[in-house]
Every structure is written in structure tokens, then in C-alpha cells.
């Protein structure tokens, strides 16, 4: 997908966000509405040149001069990282901070290609110990309690 | 006044004070360098531990964490493209490209010197000019604040990116994100879609960490497992001696420090605005503006001296007037009260040793950065980069999780951070600049609230926006920036058509 | 790998580990939510009290500042937390008795567990030295004579300060224009810079300027006069003690918190406030001790919530 297509679709997306913002802003009380309407309208206006330029280039069949990187370089690793994050955040409050964090590192590192268990485990151990030192000993900030300690 | 200033020097040089300065600076660099952990949290958590000691020890710790974290934030910004603190956003623009070019060592050294110089200039401004600058703070009413916010927003949206309409769209996206939540003036909910979470609006720190720190981590996760940094990139070549740095950057440092001090005396603005404005100004003045963003060390020097120069000067309104310039200044005031010292104009006469001692401590910690900063950065953090990226990714994500969780103690914030991370990742790939989004979130509400406050005060008389002298000055500045940019664009077009 | 992990987890938590028993509450660190930003008035008092509370409870207590929504965001978070006594709230009255009339919230005075109130103080109205009034009567007369001309800075649209002022203005048939700022610090900045005519807010931030004769405070919103502000009159002196609206602070727990545990905390607070350093601190802040516990505290909250609801209704500000 060339940069022209991307510009075209992002232009359309901003046009939609802008008009929705302005349209919803209409319903706000008196002076609370000015900036929402203004910002939404401006966003719609600034999206027009983007749409115009990109659609003209697209219609003329001109190739974009900007170098284009893939939208996602490696979908597998990208999604795996996101998935692990979601599981991590969900488990955090019930399982406890230090346990979940240790598990998160131990699971995600091999997924991303680190296959030396000694390296993974030793770095995890050192890292979690340092965090414990910083948060429990120095800063004394309570974090989600470990499941085996909760009362 | 100068007598009390000199009398306070021995107080700041006591053994206890010196120890707290060194410890504070080290903790500050560490906290600043860990993305997600912020100095406000560190100071809020550390201060109660010092209640039993002399106030000067507590203040030494604050001074150290404050200045140390401002520099610490630049370390991951330079090495990993992840700003350690929001104020280090502008440091990533040229710092990270320098690392990729094998100049990581030089970038760190430049950042360290620039932070130290910015901090020193700011501390000197606090010592010499505090009462005078405090009057400036009071002269700024809602209409002046409105123009400051608009100036920051527009000039950065126009200057940061290559494409003006993309810059403006980014800035407006930020403004709209900033609108979410209960409106402080009318009390009405806006864009909350019936959810209770959105009633409070988006927390700035969560948006910033999401937009700026998550995308580089995701990009790192996509790379193959290898440590792509080699130790060579941290060698500083012979021509980059400290004197060379001073000779090369003194102009940039002076300009950025003045910008930083000016932003600092206005409560509510902050280090990231100072850094971005300094970066812009350096780019505008440079003979080679096109090299900015590709690893020009002047960009690092401008950003780091700008954000550090904000530090001590943000203490001016709090120490002279009792009005906190930022959250850290508010914590300092709180600590003084708990020690039985009443903030306000009498503080200078009633407890000069504490006030002037604190100023000396701010100066000393800025200097300490030169001693400790380079050592910590290269000996410790550069080693972390030898860690395989497959481990760097999850550990960084854990740090961000803990940092965001400690802001409000709310797990929902983590999902929101991740969502903003995806938005940032997408905007990156669509070639939209991120800095204007951040400024939109920060300055949009400031512009709106102050515009409406000035209308409330003047009973909807629009002329108040254009009749006050300070407002006119800012408007002139804004016009100058816009016109010079327009002129440059026109000239470039003419040159292109001639060629 | 599992064994290593369990070992790791056990090793790192060993320091925090103590056997769990119902009677030895608290046996681990407590978190105290303060629904205001770090460094503000509520935060300072909470942190000062916290120092002594930690000693009395024998466990560290960490203050967590959750600002925003006039305090509602922090209280919402408390309302959602586990009622095990390890998450408590240290708040002033506005988020409990005023904000629920203005915004949607997840709590009310009926659901939260009342522990104990701690101290109270009044709001004050101050003007610059050249203002044509030297006492409360002249001040009110000047406002009466010039309806809609003077602006007064206050803590925001749902804030108790504005309400306190509007109740008084209503009784004296005064129209002044409220300008909502983000807190007492911002109000003070705009007042000192001459951008608003009247300072409305807590007493502490403005005290140094009274001593310097840079401002004169003419009215306090409590029934009694305030020692720290000799030029100001209380509402009783003006013949309207029933208009009193004060700023008071309390500790609350989530719904369903064990009553024994609430008692433990209330007892600890009662002992903590006995420390002379805390007393001196309160005096310097212009606050007085005020300890009301349990159901009595809930009654006080109910009365205030109802009274404020009525005022808001008559002002046309009530939204929920």
C-alpha cells in the first residue's frame, strides 16, 4: 500500500473524527461547546488538503516519492506481544504484581526468540529482585498483592 | 539578599546535605531513565521518609531527584527511542538517530553537559532574579495564558513535521483527546460516552507513555532477536572533548536556557513545552535545518538544556509567592509546611538558610550531573543494551506497567496506555508527527480553560485578548514564527521552479 | 521451571510475609487514597496525620494521590476497592456531600463506611488593600450596591467553596460573578495578579499575604470568627449562623468494611491527633480538631448532603 493510499485513508478518518467531534460538540452547554466545535471543524478542514493531494496523485497514477515501510513488519511477533500484554494486565490484580511480571517475562522472551533458559531465568530473577528492592524497600509503594499473601 | 545567599552556602555543604544530594541525584537519574517511573511519584514516596530529619536533607533529596530525572529521561530516549520522562520527547528526535549512526556515546555526553548547563543557568536565575521574575508570573492572567498555549501549539505543529496539514491534524487530535471528561468550568461531561472512566478525562502521563514509549517497544519486538548495539558506538572520539562541546554549543545552550527559564516561571506549562520550543528555535536558527531529525547533536543539546532550565525556575513562583509551578514544586511546599515553614513572601526573611540552601542544592545537583551522569549512563545503562532485545521488550513493558499503575493504582489505565500505544504506532507508520499530539493534550485544555476564563472575567468582551501588552508581545512572536515559515516555504518553491 | 518460579516468588516476598489472622489487622502496608493532587491542603494534612497514624497502626501507610473530577475519581476508586481495610480514604467533605449532586459517581454517604472525621476549617473571602471596605458589613454592602460587577475566584463549579459563597450571597441579595479556577493556588495567583477582585478559598495559602498587609480577609464561612484572621467576621456575627459551610476532613472506607477494623483505624486516629507536633501543625493551618465517628459521622454527612442539595437546587446548579 503506497503512502498515497495511506494519506487518503487517514485523511478520511480524520474527516470523520473531526465532523463527529464537531457534531457532538453542538449539544454542549453554551461556552463549553465553542472549542469542541472549533477543533472538530478545523480537523475536518485540515483533512481536506490531505485527501485532495493523495486522491489527485492516486488518480494520476503517480507513485509516491516517500519511502514506505510495511504497516506491521512482523505480524506474528506484534500480535504475540500485544496478546501477552493483555493477559498480563488481566492477571495483575488477582495474581499479584511480582508473580505475574515474572511469568510475563518468562513467557514473552522465548516467544520473541530467546531460547536460552538460563539467560531468561537469571535476568528475570535479577530484574524482579531489583524491582522489589526499589518498590517494597525504598519507595514502599503497595502494588497488587501476591495471591498467596492476600487475606 | 546576597549576604543571606552566601550564609546559606555552608548549610548546603553540610555532610548530611551532600549525602542527600548524591543519593537524590542517583535515584533521580535511575527513576528518569526507567520509562514509566516518574520523579513526582519518587519524591512523593521518598519525602515522608525524611520528615524526621532537618528540612535541608529532604530538600536535597528533592533537588537531586528533580535535576537527576530530567537528565535520566534522556538516556533511554537516546539509546532506545523511548523517552524516560515526558520532557525527554524532543531528545528522541536526534538522540536516537545518533545512536543508530554509532554516536550514542557522543549523544549521551552532549545530553549530560546540556542538562547540567540548563540546570545551572536555571538555578542562577532562581538565586539572582527570583523576586523580579515572580512579578512576571503574576502579570500573566487567563488571556496571556491562552496566547502562550496557542503559541506553543501552533508553532510546534507547524515546525516539527514536514507536512503542515499533518502537523495540524496531529495537534487537533491531541486537543480533542484533551477535551474528554468533565469540563472544569461548566461541570458538564464531554465525550464520555456514558462511561465512568472517561469522566475524569485522560491522564496526561498515560497518554504520553502510551503514544511515545509503547510504539518503539513494539517495533523492537518485531525485530529479530539480536542486540543490535555494539559497544563501539559508546566510544567518544578525541575531537569531542568537553571544551569542544562548550565551544560548539554555547549559543544553543544560552538560547535554550533562556526559553526554559521563561517557561518555568509560568505555573502549568512544563519541561516538555520548554524542550520542544528550544528544539524548534535551534532548528529555525540552524544553517542546516534539514539535518534535524537525522542525528544532529545540536538538537539534543537544545532539547536537554531547555527542559533542565525549566527545573529551578519552576520553583520561583512557589518559593516567592507560595504558588506551586508544578507538582514537584507543590510537594516541596508541602514538605516545608510539614516542617513548620509557611510558604509565601516571608519565607526568604524567616528561614533564609532553608530557601537559599535549597537554591544552592539545585545548583550543586546540576553540577553533580557532570560527575555522576556520564558515569551512570555509560557504565550502567549502556550495558543494559547488551541484553538481548527479546528480554529488553518484556522488562521494559513491566516497567511501564508498574509506572502507570502507581499513578492511580488502577488497572484500566494499563489497557488505555496500550490503546494509545497502538494509536501512536499507527500514526508513526502513517507519517504523522507525534509531538503535536502530545502538545495538543497538554496545551489544548490550557488554551480552552484560559480563553473561557478570560471571557467570563471580561463578560464576553473579545477585545481583552488583544489589548494587553504581554498578549500583544506573544501574538507578535506567533506571527513572526508563522511568517518566517511561510517565507521559507515560498522561497523554497521559487528555488525549485527556477531549477 | 515452575519450581524455580515459586522459589523466586517466595524468596522475594519473604520480607512481607506474616501469617494471616483476622484479629491482627493491620498486618501489611495500608494504602490511603487522597482524592486531591500531591502538595495541596488536603494532601498536606493527610500526609502529616499519616506520619503518626503509621506509628499507631504499626504498619506503613502509603498516600496515593488520585486527583480529578472534584475528588470524585479518587472516591470512585475507593468505592471499587476490596473492603478489607487495606485501602482507606482520606478526604475533605466536598467529594462526598457536593460532587454527587453534580456528576455521576459510584458512591454516596449511604454506602461508604464512615470511620472518623479529623479536623475542620473555614473558607475565606479576601480583597486587595484598596477595596472600599474594612469589615464584613461594608464588604457585603459594597457587593450589594454593585450587582454583577465584582468577580470572585473559587475552587471550581462543583466545589464547596463556591457553594459556601453563593449561600451567603443569596441571603444578602448579592450577585457576584464566580470565576472557577483549578484550586486555591491558581485562585491566589490570579487574585494577587489583579485578574479577579475577590479571593475565595481555603485560609492557609492566603495567610502570609494577610500578615504582609497585601490583602485583607473580611469574611469566613464558619459561624465563629477565626483566630488567624482577626479582620474577618464569622457568620454568627452577621446574624446568619445557619449559613455556615465549612471545610472538614475525614477518613472513610469502602462499603462493607468490617466494623472492628474501622474501629481500629478510628482509635489509631484518635491517638495520632494527640501528638503535639500534629496539633501545632493544625493550628498553623487555621484548622481545629473535630472527631466524630461511625454512624454519627454518617448522620453529619447525610445532613450536609441534603442541605447542599437544596441550595444547589435553588441556585439551579443541581444536575443529579
Q: For the domain that residue C153 is a member of, what is the CATH number?
A: 3.40.190.10
In this prediction, residues B115-136 reach a mean pLDDT of 90
User: What pLDDT, on a 0 to 100 scale, did the predictor assign at position A69?
Assistant: 66
Residues of chain B positioned with their CB less than 8 A from the CB of A66: 431
Backbone angles phi, psi at C89, to 5 degrees: -120, 135
Gap between the Cα atoms of A115 and A127, Å rounded: 18
Asked whether residue C12 is domain-assigned, the answer is no
- Note whether residue C311 is domain-resident: yes
Residues C168 and C239 in one domain: yes
- Comparing B39-43, B240-244, C28-32, C300-304, which segment has the lowest mean pLDDT? B240-244
| Final residue of a structural domain among C205, C223, C243 | C243
Q: What is the rounded CA–CA span in Å between residue B253 and residue B115?
A: 9
pLDDT at B195: 83
pTM of the model: 0.86
Size of interface B-C (CB pairs under 8 A): 152
The answer to the question of residue C22 being in a domain is no
List all residues of chain B from 429 to 458 with a beta carbon under 8 Å from chain C. Answer: 449, 453, 456-457
Q: Residue by residue, what is the 3-state secondary structure of B317-373?
A: HHHHHCCCCCHHHHHHHHHHHHCCCCCCCCHHHHCHHHHHHHHHHHHHHHHHHHHHH
CA torsion angle B276 B280 B281 B287 (round to 10): 140
Select the more confidently predicted residue: B231 or A94: A94
Stated as kind and residue range, the H or E segment containing C289 is: strand C288-289
C-alpha–C-alpha distance, residues A149 and B16, integer Å: 38
Task: Determine the Cα–Cα distance for residues B283 and C269; give it in Å rounded to an integer.
Answer: 57
The answer to whether B333 faces chain C, any CB pair under 8 Å, is yes
**Nearest CB to C185; choose among B138, B323, B453:** B323
CA distance B37 to chain C (A): 15
The answer on C236 and C130 residing in a single domain is: yes
Tell me, what's the pLDDT at A60? 80
Cα torsion for B445, B449, B451, B456, to the nearest 10°?
170
A39 to B444: CB separation less than 8 angstroms, yes or no: yes
CB contact, 8 Å: B412 with chain C?
Answer: no
Q: Is the peptide bond before C47 cis (omega within 30 degrees of 0)?
A: no
pLDDT at C14: 41
Q: Give the pLDDT of residue B484.
A: 82
Whether residue C310 is contained in a domain is answered as yes
Q: What residue spans of B73-179 are helical by DSSP H?
A: 74-80, 89-100, 104-139, 142-160, 164-179
- The pLDDT assigned to C17 comes to 40
Is residue C285 included in any domain, yes or no?
A: yes
Alpha helices per DSSP H over chain C: 2-13, 41-57, 72-80, 94-97, 99-102, 136-145, 160-171, 184-192, 207-211, 259-272, 276-284, 294-315
Q: Same structural domain for residues C300 and C215?
A: no
Identify the DSSP state of B103: -
Of residues C177, C217, C144, C148, the one with CA closest to residue B454: C177
Contact A51/B at CB under 8 A: no
Give domain status of residue C258, yes or no: yes
Q: Are residues C81 and C161 in the same domain?
A: no
How far lies C65's CA from each of B296, C42, C44, in Å?
Answer: 40, 10, 11
Q: Tell me: do C238 and C139 sit in the same domain.
A: yes
A107 vs B350 pLDDT, higher one? A107
Residue C320 in any domain: the answer is no
**pLDDT for C124 beyond 60:** yes
Q: Which of B64, B201, B206, B395 best probes binding to A when mutated, by most A CB atoms within 10 angstroms?
A: B395
For residue C275, with 0-12 CB atoms within 10 Å meaning exposed, 13-18 middle and 19 or more buried, which class applies? middle
Residue C78 pLDDT class (50, 70, 90 cuts): very high
Instruction: Please report residues of C whose CB lies closer than 8 A to that of A106.
Output: 1, 5
List C-alpha distances in Å: C152 to B321, B393, B452, B461. 20, 52, 15, 18
Question: How far is it, in rounded angstroms, from Cα B375 to Cα B381?
Answer: 10
Cβ <8 Å between C47 and B338: yes
State the pLDDT at residue B81: 87
Last residue of a domain, one of C211, C243, C275: C243
- Cell triple for B149: 498555549
Same domain for C286 and C257, yes or no, is yes
Looking at the structure of chain C, the number of domains it has is: 2
Residue from B315, B365, B328, B394 nearest B42 by CA: B328
- Cα separations (Å) of B78 from B67, B279, B390? 18, 15, 20
* B154-187: b (≥16 Cβ within 10 Å) or e: bbbbbbbbebbbbbbbbbbbbbbbbbbbbbbbbb
DSSP 3-state assignment of B104? Answer: helix
* A21:B224 CB<8 A: no
C255 with C295, same domain: the answer is yes
Q: How does the average pLDDT of chain B come out, rounded?
A: 86
Please state, in angstroms and rounded to a whole number, the distance separating the CA atoms of residues B155 and B303: 16
Over 60: is that where the pLDDT of C8 sits? no
Tell me how far apart the alpha carbons of residues B84 and B31 are, in angstroms, rounded to a whole number.
8
The answer on pLDDT for C19 being more than 70 is no
Among C243, C275, C294, give the residue marking a domain's end: C243
Q: Environment class of residue B86 by beta-carbon count within 10 Å: exposed (0-12), middle (13-18) or buried (19+)?
A: buried
Average pLDDT for C137-165: 89
Residue A98: phi and psi, rounded to 5, are -70, -40
Q: What is this model's ipTM?
A: 0.92
- Computed from CA positions of residues C285, C291, C295, C299, in that sequence, does the dihedral angle turn out positive or negative? negative
Chain A residue closest in CA terms to B407: A141
pLDDT of C7 strictly over 60: no
Of C47, C50, C73, the CB nearest to B200: C73
Chain A residues with beta carbon closer than 8 angstroms to that of B179? 21, 35-36, 39
Query: What are the tens digits of pLDDT across the range C230-241?
Result: 899 999 999 999
C-alpha cell at B98: 545518533
Among C44, C65, C72, whose Cβ lies nearest the Cβ of B337? C44
Give the number of other CB atoms < 10 A from CB of residue B45: 18
Mean pLDDT over residues B336-347, rounded? 81
Angle CA B337–B339–B342, to nearest 5: 35
Instruction: Provide the terminal-to-terminal Cα distance of chain B, rounded to the nearest Å.
Output: 63
pLDDT interval class at B232 (50, 70, 90) = low
Mean pLDDT of B144-173: 85
Interchain contact, A72 vs B389, CB within 8 Å: no
Q: Which residue has the cell 454583577?
A: C148
Task: Give the domain range for residue C114.
Answer: 30-121+247-315
Residues C115 and C263 in one domain: yes
With 0-12 / 13-18 / 19 or more C-beta atoms within 10 angstroms meaning exposed / middle / buried, residue A49 is: middle
A78 touches chain B (CB under 8 A): yes
Q: Are residues C229 and C267 in the same domain?
A: no
The total of other beta-carbon atoms located within 10 Å of residue B132's CB is: 11
C67 and C133 co-located in one domain: no
Residue C280: pLDDT above 90? Answer: no
C116 and C141 housed in the same domain: no
CA distance B265 to A96: 42
End-to-end CA distance of chain A: 55
In this predicted structure, the answer to whether residue C66 has a pLDDT above a threshold of 80 is yes
Kindly indicate the confidence band of residue B279, based on its pLDDT and cuts at 50, 70 and 90: very high
Query: For residue A129, is pLDDT > 90?
Result: yes
- Grid coordinates belonging to A124: 528475570
**Least confident stretch, A96-100, A130-134, C113-117:** A130-134
- All three cell numbers of B38, joined, read 516518574
Interface test with C, best of A104, A133, A142 (most C CBs within 10 A): A142
Under the banding of pLDDT at 50, 70 and 90, the label for residue C12 is very low
C293 and C213 belong to one structural domain: no
User: Is residue C21 over pLDDT 70?
Assistant: no
Q: Sign of the CA dihedral A62, A66, A67, A73?
A: negative
Q: Which of the four pLDDT bands, split at 50, 70 and 90, describes residue C9?
A: very low
CA B375/CA B329 separation, integer angstroms = 28
Assigned domain for C19 exists: no
Q: Is the pLDDT of residue B223 over 50?
A: yes
**In the predicted structure, residue B21 carries a pLDDT above the cut 90:** yes
Amino acid at each position: 500500500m503506497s503512502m498515497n493510499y495511506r494519506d487518503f485513508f487517514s485523511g478520511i478518518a480524520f474527516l470523520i473524527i473531526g465532523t463527529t467531534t464537531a457534531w457532538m460538540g453542538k449539544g454542549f452547554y453554551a461556552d463549553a461547546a465553542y472549542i469542541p466545535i472549533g477543533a472538530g471543524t478545523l480537523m475536518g478542514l485540515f483533512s481536506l488538503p490531505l485527501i485532495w493531494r493523495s486522491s489527485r496523485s492516486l488518480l494520476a497514477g503517480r507513485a509516491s516519492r516517500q519511502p514506505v515501510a510495511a504497516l506491521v513488519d512482523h505480524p506474528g511477533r506484534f500480535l504475540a506481544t500485544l496478546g501477552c500484554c493483555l493477559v498480563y494486565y488481566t492477571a495483575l490484580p488477582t495474581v499479584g504484581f511480582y508473580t505475574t511480571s515474572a511469568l510475563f517475562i518468562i513467557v514473552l522472551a522465548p516467544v520473541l526468540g530467546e531460547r536460552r533458559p538460563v539467560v531468561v531465568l537469571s535476568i528475570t530473577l535479577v530484574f524482579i529482585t531489583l524491582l522489589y528492592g526499589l518498590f517494597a524497600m525504598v519507595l514502599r509503594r503497595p502494588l497488587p498483592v501476591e495471591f498467596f499473601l492476600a487475606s | 539578599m546576597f549576604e543571606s545567599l552566601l550564609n546559606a552556602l555552608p548549610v548546603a555543604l553540610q555532610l548530611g546535605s551532600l549525602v542527600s544530594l548524591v543519593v537524590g541525584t542517583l535515584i533521580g537519574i535511575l527513576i528518569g531513565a526507567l520509562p514509566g517511573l516518574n520523579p513526582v511519584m519518587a519524591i512523593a514516596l521518598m519525602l515522608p521518609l525524611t520528615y524526621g530529619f532537618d528540612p535541608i536533607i529532604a530538600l536535597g533529596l528533592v533537588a537531586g531527584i528533580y535535576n537527576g530525572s530530567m537528565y535520566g529521561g534522556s538516556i533511554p530516549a537516546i539509546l532506545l527511542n523511548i523517552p524516560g520522562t515526558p520532557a525527554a520527547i524532543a531528545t528522541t528526535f536526534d538522540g536516537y538517530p545518533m545512536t543508530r549512526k554509532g554516536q550514542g556515546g557522543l549523544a549521551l555526553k552532549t545530553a549530560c553537559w546540556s542538562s547540567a548547563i540548563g540546570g545551572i543557568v536555571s538555578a542562577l536565575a532562581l538565586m539572582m532574579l527570583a523576586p523580579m521574575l515572580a512579578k512576571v508570573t503574576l502579570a500573566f492572567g487567563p488571556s496571556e495564558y491562552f496566547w502562550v498555549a496557542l503559541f506553543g501549539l501552533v508553532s510546534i505543529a507547524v515546525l516539527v513535521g514536514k507536512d503542515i496539514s499533518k502537523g495540524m491534524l496531529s495537534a487537533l487530535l491531541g486537543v480533542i483527546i484533551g477535551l474528554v471528561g468533565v469540563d472544569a468550568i461548566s461541570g458538564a461531561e464531554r465525550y464520555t460516552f456514558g462511561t465512568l472512566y472517561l469522566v475524569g478525562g485522560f491522564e496526561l502521563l498515560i497518554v504520553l507513555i502510551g503514544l511515545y514509549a509503547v510504539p518503539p517497544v513494539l517495533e523492537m519486538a518485531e525485530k529479530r532477536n539480536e542486540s543490535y548495539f555494539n559497544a563501539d558506538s559508546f566510544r567518544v572520539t578525541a575531537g569531542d572533548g568537553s571544551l569542544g562541546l562548550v565551544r560548539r554549543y554555547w549559543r544553543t545552550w544560552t538560547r535554550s536556557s533562556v526559553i526554559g527559564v521563561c517557561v518555568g516561571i509560568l505555573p502549568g506549562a512544563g519541561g516538555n513545552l520548554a524542550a520542544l520550543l528550544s528544539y524548534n528555535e535551534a532548528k529555525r536558527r540552524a544553517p542546516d535545518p534539514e539535518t534535524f531529525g537525522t542525528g544532529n547533536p545540536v538538537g539534543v543539546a537544545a532539547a536537554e538544556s531547555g527542559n533542565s532550565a525549566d527545573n529551578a525556575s519552576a520553583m520561583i513562583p512557589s518559593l516567592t509567592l507560595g504558588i506551586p509551578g508544578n507538582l514537584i514544586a507543590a510537594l516541596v511546599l508541602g514538605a516545608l509546611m510539614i516542617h513548620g515553614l509557611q510558604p509565601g513572601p516571608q519565607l526568604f526573611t524567616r528561614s533564609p538558610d532553608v530557601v537559599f540552601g535549597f537554591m544552592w542544592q539545585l545548583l550543586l545537583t546540576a553540577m553533580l550531573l557532570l560527575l555522576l551522569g556520564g558515569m551512570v549512563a555509560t557504565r550502567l545503562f549502556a550495558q543494559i543494551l547488551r541484553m538481548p532485545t527479546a528480554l529488553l521488550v518484556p522488562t521494559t513493558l513491566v516497567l511501564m506497567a508498574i509506572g502507570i499503575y502507581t499513578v492511580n493504582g488502577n488497572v484500566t489505565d494499563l489497557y488505555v496506555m496500550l490503546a494509545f500505544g497502538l494509536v501512536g504506532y499507527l500514526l508513526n507508520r502513517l507519517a504523522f508527527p507525534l509531538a503535536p499530539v502530545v502538545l495538543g493534550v497538554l496545551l489544548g485544555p490550557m488554551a480552552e480553560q484560559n480563553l473561557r476564563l478570560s471571557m467570563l472575567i471580561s463578560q464576553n468582551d473579545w477585545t481583552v485578548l488583544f489589548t494587553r501588552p504581554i498578549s500583544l508581545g506573544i501574538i507578535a512572536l506567533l506571527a513572526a514564527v508563522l511568517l518566517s515559515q511561510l517565507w521559507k516555504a515560498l522561497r523554497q518553491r521559487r528555488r525549485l521552479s527556477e531549477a | 521451571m515452575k519450581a524455580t518460579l515459586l522459589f523466586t516468588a517466595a524468596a522475594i516476598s519473604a520480607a512481607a510475609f506474616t501469617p494471616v489472622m483476622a484479629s491482627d489487622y493491620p498486618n501489611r502496608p495500608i494504602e490511603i487514597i487522597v482524592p486531591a493532587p500531591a502538595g495541596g491542603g488536603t494532601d498536606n494534612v493527610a500526609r502529616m496525620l499519616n506520619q503518626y497514624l503509621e506509628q499507631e497502626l504499626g504498619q506503613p501507610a502509603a498516600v496515593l494521590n488520585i486527583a480529578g473530577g472534584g475528588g470524585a475519581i479518587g472516591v470512585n476508586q475507593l468505592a471499587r476497592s476490596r473492603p478489607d481495610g487495606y485501602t482507606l480514604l482520606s478526604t475533605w467533605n466536598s467529594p462526598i456531600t457536593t460532587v454527587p449532586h453534580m456528576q455521576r459517581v459510584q458512591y454516596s454517604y449511604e454506602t461508604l463506611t464512615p470511620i472518623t472525621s479529623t479536623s475542620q476549617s473555614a473558607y475565606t473571602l479576601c480583597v486587595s488593600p484598596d477595596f472600599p471596605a474594612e469589615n464584613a458589613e461594608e464588604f457585603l454592602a459594597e457587593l450589594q450596591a454593585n450587582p454583577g460587577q465584582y468577580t470572585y475566584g473559587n475552587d471550581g463549579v462543583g466545589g464547596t467553596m463556591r457553594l459556601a459563597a453563593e449561600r451567603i450571597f443569596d441571603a444578602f441579595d448579592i450577585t457576584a460573578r464566580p470565576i472557577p479556577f483549578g484550586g486555591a493556588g491558581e485562585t491566589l495567583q490570579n487574585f494577587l495578579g489583579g485578574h479577579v477582585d475577590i479571593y475565595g478559598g481555603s485560609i492557609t495559602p492566603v495567610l502570609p499575604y494577610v500578615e504582609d498587609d497585601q490583602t485583607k480577609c473580611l469574611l469566613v464561612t464558619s459561624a465563629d470568627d477565626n483566630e488567624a484572621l482577626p479582620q474577618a467576621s464569622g457568620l454568627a456575627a452577621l446574624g446568619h449562623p445557619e449559613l455556615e459551610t465549612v471545610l472538614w476532613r475525614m477518613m472513610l472506607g469502602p462499603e462493607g468494611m468490617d466494623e472492628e477494623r474501622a474501629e481500629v483505624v478510628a482509635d489509631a486516629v484518635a491517638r495520632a491527633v494527640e501528638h503535639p507536633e500534629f496539633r501545632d501543625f493544625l493550628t498553623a493551618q487555621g484548622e481545629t480538631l473535630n472527631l466524630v465517628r461511625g454512624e454519627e459521622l454518617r448522620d453529619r454527612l447525610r445532613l450536609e448532603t441534603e442541605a447542599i442539595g437544596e441550595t444547589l437546587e435553588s441556585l439551579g446548579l443541581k444536575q443529579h
